[in-house]
Every structure is written in structure tokens, then in C-alpha cells.
Homo-oligomer: A and B are copies of this chain.
Amino acid sequence: MTGKPVRAPRADARRNRTSVLRAAAEMFATEGLSVPVHEIARRAGVGTGTVSRHFPTKEALFAAVLLDRMALLTARADVLTATEDPGTAFFTFFAALVHEGADHRGLAESLAGVGFDIESAAIDAGSDVSGRLHAMLKAAQRAGAVRGGITFADVKALMSGCLAREVAPGDAGARDRVITVVCDGLRTR
């Protein structure tokens, strides 16, 4: 079908690609989505042209960065679903997502709806964390561990609260307090 006999990419190209990916992961994590592409290129030791050739768009770069983390998270979700009762699974995964987002400002911003849409990024990345969380919520509700009326959108909103800038990045204690408040609030009483 494709008349193009695809040759393996050049060695320097592969090297640069991973450099960029690593630099992007670090900078998105610490600086957030608004970090200029130029900075990522500088940190990776390449020109801006190289970045946009490998990843046509900043959003595509972000999606690529997300790919592996997302895969890990969905795997984690599947393990929890299989081994824990629905309530525990949901609350544990919720906390895991919050902690993940806390270490990754770009992810948190995306979750909060600032910058790129995380749904589409996730789909580009071929991994659906949201879907897992949604399923776990429903299961936990059926099991009576989480209040009935709560919507998936409600949960996402509460999650973004746990990730708000007010909760300092390094302050795991604050994060745990907030998670506790939300989870206790979500429980059936």
C-alpha cells in the first residue's frame, strides 16, 4: 500500500528524539504547559527546528511525554480493580492520580482544563486513564462505597482541587490532608 520503503531513522535522529522527550518531560513537570518550546530545545541541546520536526506540534510533544506514564497508570488501575474491593480500588487510584499530578505540573494543568485537553492527549497516547477512573467510580458506587449521586465530572473537579497551586508541590502532607477530606466526603455516610 505505502509505496515508501521506510528506512530506519538515522542514529542522530533517534538520539535527538529521546533527548527532546526527556527534556520535555522534565520541563513540563516542573514548569507546566506554558514552558516555551524554545526552552525545551535548549535544555535538550538541539535547535527548535529539530523539536518541531519530531513532534509537529507542542501538543503532540506533550502527548508523547504522557504516553509512558499513562500506560503505567492504566496498568496500576487494572491491578487495583482485580485485587481490591471496589471502594478501596477507587480511593487508592484517586490518590495515586493526585500524587502523579503533583509531580507533574503539566499533567495537573491539563487535568484542570488549562492548556491542552487531556482527554484528546490521552487518546493520542493510546491510553485511557479517565476511562479507568470512571469505571472504578461506577463500581465503587454499585458496591455502596461511594455516594450515589456523584458524577464522574464531580470527581474530576474534586481531583483538580487536590492539585491546586495552593497545595505546594513539595508538601505531601498537605496533599494527603486534602485527599483525605475529599475521600471522606465522597464516602457513603
A185 interfacial by beta-carbon distance below 8 Å: yes
A96 to B159, CA, bound (A): 21
A112 to B111, CA, bound (A): 13
Point out the residues of chain B lying under 8 angstroms from A153, CB to CB: 166-168, 174
A151 to B1, CA, bound (A): 62
Interface class of chain A by DSSP: helix
**Which chain A residues in 104-127 approach chain B with CB under 8 Å?**
112-114
- Could you say which of A15-23, A54-62, A175-183 contacts chain B? A175-183
Do A157 and B161 touch (CB < 8 A)? Answer: yes
A95 interfacial by beta-carbon distance below 8 Å: no
Point out the residues of chain B lying under 8 angstroms from A186, CB to CB: 181, 185
A164 interfacial by beta-carbon distance below 8 Å: yes
Map CB proximity to B onto A22-35 as digits: 1 under 8 Å, 0 otherwise: 00000000000000
Closest Cβ of chain B to A116, distance in Å, is: 13
A156 interfacial by beta-carbon distance below 8 Å: yes
Point out the residues of chain B lying under 8 angstroms from A154, CB to CB: 166-167, 174, 177-178, 181
A72 interfacial by beta-carbon distance below 8 Å: no
Q: Which residues of A come within 8 Å of B, CB atoms?
A: 112-114, 147, 149-151, 153-154, 156-162, 164-168, 174, 177-178, 180-186, 189
| With A112-B164, A154-B166, A184-B184 already in contact, 6 other A-B pairs whose C-beta atoms are closer than 8 Å | A112-B112, A113-B164, A156-B164, A161-B182, A180-B185, A184-B185
